[in-house]
Amino acid sequence: MKKILSVSLILIIMIFSVALAANPNTPQFLLDRFKMKLGDTQAIAGIINGKIDYNNFESSNEDVVEILPNGNLKAKTTGYSTLTYTYQNNGRDVVISCHIEVTRYDSTFDTISGTEKKETVYITLDLGDYKVVESSNAAAIPVLPKVTRTGYILEGWYTEASFTNKVKDNQRFFTDATLYPKWLTQAEYDASKAVASALYDDTTGHWAQVAIDAVSYKGLFNGVAERTFGPEIVMTRAMAVAVIGRLEDVDASSYKAKFDDVKEDAYYAGYLAWAVENKIVTDVKNDKFRPNDEITREEVAVYIANYMNYKKYDADRILSLPYKDIDELSSNTKECLDLLYNTAIMQGTSTTTFEPAISVTRAQMAQIFYNLYNFSMRYKG
């Protein structure tokens, strides 16, 4: 009798199962588990077959997955929830379920590359001499560490070494990436700000525009008129001394110039007195400075080299001077040229000529002081 009952029960279950399988309106989840991306919505109708009533769905964790009135699921926070659906069959309740995991990025198969997108991405920071690897949840905004480099300012991170595409503050990464830092000297950083503000109308597209903007933003140069720099105007000896004094941030009011051809209230007078006192200007003769004379390339080289000696800057003297027109210059002047040549602060007018006697324009002087300022920012002693 027991055997007959067992066989009958099995037959009933089989018939019931076949009936369910044969009925296309029987609700059935397509998967027993699936993933959703944080913040996304998913239509319930897309994950279950059969005739359904949206009122009969429940989420075991509404903080993770919320059921919306329009029949969609909303992924609210990362975590797990079980979605259940209850329906009537032959007068009894039938409950089916599937498990949902909410992640920051759903793991999907990339049919093009044949790779699986990871929930954790690795950001490699290429710092030249070494690399730093940071991990982050995919699609999250990575927190990049603060990095420093002596004498430089970090302008930003880029996704390639050519610095074409800059990483945005809110940029998200879905796959592993390598980032490259773009370093700027203080002068270059100042120039980038100055370019944005368009200081002058007569330097746009000029070969020395970056240098002009940088030294002007730094306060070393002033325009000759409103929004006018005058790049091709020749520098005077007075102008050159004033720029050196501003670079050193000299308090000009603390020095008094006593020269026959210099008025005590001249804008450069205090800078000149400081420069003479510190042996930066050494060509004052008979108490005359000749402030309004055009300054020559030789004089500029000597002044700047003397300033570098005052600052105790030095450089390896590896390269010999290639200039063929400096034989008649003093040995002291040649040492000055050697210092500037080897530090790339001041070069010749060609690969073989220096032309020490020609005058220097404001644009040329701006470039020289831009180079000097960059060198001072990198100098380590």
DSSP of 127-181, one letter per residue? -SS-EEEEEEETTS---PPP---TT-EEEEEESSTT--SBPPTT---SS-EEEEE
Same domain? 206 vs 300: yes
In a domain, 94, yes or no: yes
Query: What tokens does 34 get?
Result: 């699936």
Please provide the DSSP assignment of 23-80 as one string.
-TTS-EES-SEEEEETT-EEEGGGTEES---GGGEEES-TTTEEE-TTSEEEE-SSEE
Residue with tokens 């009925």: 23
Same domain? 336 vs 256: yes
Same domain? 236 vs 151: no
Last residue of a domain, one of 48, 71, 103: 103
In a domain, 325, yes or no: yes
Beta-sheet pairing, 57-59 with 33-37: unpaired
Phi/psi at 10 (5° precision): -65, -45
Q: What is the pLDDT of residue 104?
A: 64
Q: What is the pLDDT of residue 172?
A: 76
Report the alpha-carbon distance of residue 333 to residue 151 in Å, rounded: 29
Last residue of a domain, one of 155, 184, 213: 184
In a domain, 17, yes or no: no
With CA atoms as reference, report the closest residue to 238 among 217, 252, 218, 254: 252
Same domain? 58 vs 168: no
Element (H, E) at 126: strand 120-126
Report the alpha-carbon distance of residue 246 to residue 218 in Å, rounded: 9
* Number of domains making up the chain: 3
Phi/psi at 198 (5° precision): 50, 75
Same domain? 271 vs 311: yes
Q: Residue 166: give its domain's CATH number.
A: 2.60.40.4270
Q: What is the pLDDT of residue 101?
A: 82
Query: What tokens does 251 get?
Result: 């308090």
Q: What is the pLDDT of residue 15?
A: 39
Q: Residue 85: give its domain's CATH number.
A: 2.60.40.1080
In a domain, 346, yes or no: yes
Same domain? 313 vs 271: yes
Q: What is the pLDDT of residue 11?
A: 41
Q: What is the pLDDT of residue 13?
A: 38
Same domain? 177 vs 216: no
* pTM for the structure as a whole: 0.52
Q: What is the pLDDT of residue 308?
A: 95
Same domain? 193 vs 128: no
Same domain? 246 vs 145: no
Residue 94 CB neighbour total at 10 angstroms: 13
Same domain? 138 vs 273: no
Residue 29 DSSP code = E
In a domain, 306, yes or no: yes
In a domain, 81, yes or no: yes
Same domain? 180 vs 197: no
Q: What is the pLDDT of residue 167?
A: 86
Q: Is residue 277 classed as helix, strand or coil in its secondary structure?
A: helix
Could you give the angle at the alpha carbon of 251 between the alpha carbons of 304 and 255, nearest 5°? 85
- In sign, the C-alpha dihedral spanning 41, 47, 49, 51 is negative
In a domain, 12, yes or no: no
Range of the domain at 159: 120-184
Q: What is the pLDDT of residue 6?
A: 44
Last residue of a domain, one of 184, 208, 230: 184
Report the alpha-carbon distance of residue 155 to residue 182 in Å, rounded: 6
Report the alpha-carbon distance of residue 103 to residue 105 in Å, rounded: 5
- State pLDDT tens for residues 101-160: 887 643 333 323 334 445 677 888 888 877 788 877 766 778 887 888 888 888 889 988
Q: What is the rounded end-to-end Cα distance, in angstroms, of the chain?
A: 104
Same domain? 290 vs 352: yes
Residue 211 DSSP code = H
Report the alpha-carbon distance of residue 118 to residue 106 in Å, rounded: 8
With CA atoms as reference, report the closest residue to 366 among 238, 212, 224: 212
In a domain, 10, yes or no: no
- State pLDDT tens for residues 304-342: 999 999 999 977 766 678 999 999 999 999 999 999 998
pLDDT values of the chain reduced to their tens digit, one per residue, 381 residues:
434 444 344 444 343 444 434 445 688 887 777 778 777 788 888 788 888 888 889 999 898 899 998 888 988 887 789 999 998 888 888 888 888 888 764 333 332 333 444 567 788 888 887 778 887 776 677 888 788 888 888 888 998 888 878 888 777 777 788 999 998 888 777 766 655 556 788 998 899 998 998 898 888 998 898 889 999 999 999 999 999 999 999 999 999 988 999 998 999 999 999 999 999 999 998 889 999 999 999 999 999 999 999 999 977 766 678 999 999 999 999 999 999 998 889 999 998 999 999 999 999 999 999 999 888 877 765
